[in-house]
Amino acid sequence: KMKHLIAPSILSADFANLQRDIEMINESQADWFHVDVMDGVFVPNISFGFPVITAAKKNAKKPFDVHLMIVDPDRYIAEFAKAGADVITVHYEACTHLHRTIQLIKSVGCKAGVALNPHTPVSLLKDVLQDIDLALVMSVNPGFGGQQFIPQTLNKISELKQMALQANPNLYIEVDGGVGINNIGSLIEAGANVFVAGNAVFAAPSPTQMIADLKNVQVN
Ligand code: DX5
Ligand code: ZN
Full-model pTM? 0.98
176 counts as catalytic: yes
Residue 104 pLDDT more than 80? yes
Q: Residue 205 contacts by C-beta under 8 Å, 6 or more apart in sequence?
A: none
Over range 166-191, report the average pLDDT: 98
Asked if residues 201 and 24 have their Cβ atoms less than 8 Å apart, the reply is no
For the stretch 190-218, pLDDT in tens is: 999 999 999 999 999 999 999 999 999 99
* Residue of 21, 65, 133, 176 marked active site: 176
Separation between Cα atoms, residue 171 and residue 162, nearest integer Å:
11
What pLDDT does 2 receive?
Answer: 79
Domain boundaries, the chain: 5-215
Q: How far is CA 154 from CA 173, 202, 214, in A?
A: 12, 24, 17
Residue pair 129/158 in contact (Cβ under 8 Å)? The answer is no
Interval 48-65 mean pLDDT: 98
ipTM for the complex shown: 0.99
Question: Is the confidence at residue 1, as pLDDT, over 80?
Answer: no
Query: Does 9 show up as a binding residue in the annotation?
Result: yes
The pLDDT confidence band at residue 220, using thresholds 50, 70 and 90, is confident
Residue 14 annotated in active site: no
CATH number of 5-215: 3.20.20.70
Query: Checking phi first, is residue 81 left (phi over 0); if not, alpha (psi -120 to 50) or beta?
Result: alpha
Q: Has 14 been labeled as part of a binding site?
A: no
Average pLDDT over residues 153-170: 98
Instruction: Check pLDDT > 70 for residue 19.
Output: yes
Residue 178: per-residue pLDDT:
98
Q: Which ligand is nearest to the CA of 38?
A: 1
Residues with CB under 6 A from ligand 1: 9, 11-12, 34, 36, 67, 140, 142-147, 176-179, 196-200
pLDDT in tens, 124-153: 999 999 999 999 999 999 999 999 999 999
